[in-house]
Amino acid sequence: MRIDILTVLPEMFASPLDCSILKRAQNKGLVEFHVHNLRDYSTNKHRKVDDYPFGGEAGMVMQVEPIDRCIEALKAERDYDEVIFTSPDGEQFDQPMANRMSLLNNIIILCGHYKGVDYRVREHLITKEISIGDYVLTGGELPAIIISDALVRLIPGAIGDEQSALSDSFQDHLLAAPDYTRPAEYKGWRVPDILLSGHEAKIAEWRHEQALARTRALRPGLLEE
């Protein structure tokens, strides 16, 4: 998988892309990240990529030209499955979407900033808009990192135990069952006896029951889906 990220703040990606699963996946050749500074595609001598909105509304808007020039240059080199824009009014990002997108080969993620982007970008250049929640952030850089992490960890070989990703919360519209590790007793707090029994079938049944109970109590809407 190749992920091209378009941003005015490339420095925000230096640390997240250079640690943990994202770094290991890159080292294994499973994913390539390419971060592009949109200012490099500005024709303005001051490398500006924003301007005042028509109509006099407050705030600044990212211009269409630098974004178009960047996307056009990337598309001249390869085909892209999706050109994504991170926006608060996009389709809600969830695990089923992450599962589907983890199978893609090449994607572009455009990070909005300031008050947003010239709407012509969304009308003519974007193929998918994604929101990570009903709130507003300063820019799309953090959502881009979140989306990238959610996709990459699903690529076979990205994490040590592939079954671990398949048993995560939301994979089957359920929250995950509780997990425990050594010691079996601490300050009188005991691990459930069933997990120490070695009976795989009964443990699997217990996990499923716990997942159902936690989902029913904490996120009942998942069961309706």
The pLDDT value given to residue 153 = 95
pLDDT of residue 224: 85
pLDDT of residue 178: 94
Residue 167 has a pLDDT of 56
For residue 163, the model assigns a pLDDT of 59
Q: Are residues 61 and 53 in contact, defined by beta-carbon separation less than 8 angstroms?
A: yes
| pLDDT of the residue at 225 | 74
What letter does residue 192 receive in the DSSP assignment?
Answer: P
Please enumerate in sequence order all residues whose Cβ is within 8 A of that of 94, keeping only pairs 6 or more positions apart, or say none: 170
How far apart (Å, rounded) are the C-alpha atoms in residues 31 and 2? 6
**What are the tens digits of pLDDT across the range 32-90?**
999 999 999 999 889 999 999 999 888 899 999 999 999 999 999 999 999 999 998 99
The structure tokens listed for 137 are 């952030």
Q: What is the mean pLDDT of each run of 10 residues along the chain (225 residues)?
A: 98 96 97 98 94 90 97 98 95 96 98 92 98 94 98 92 62 87 96 97 96 95 86
CA angle 137, 139, 140 (to 5 degrees): 100
User: How high does pLDDT run on average in the chain?
Assistant: 94
- Amino acid at site 57: E
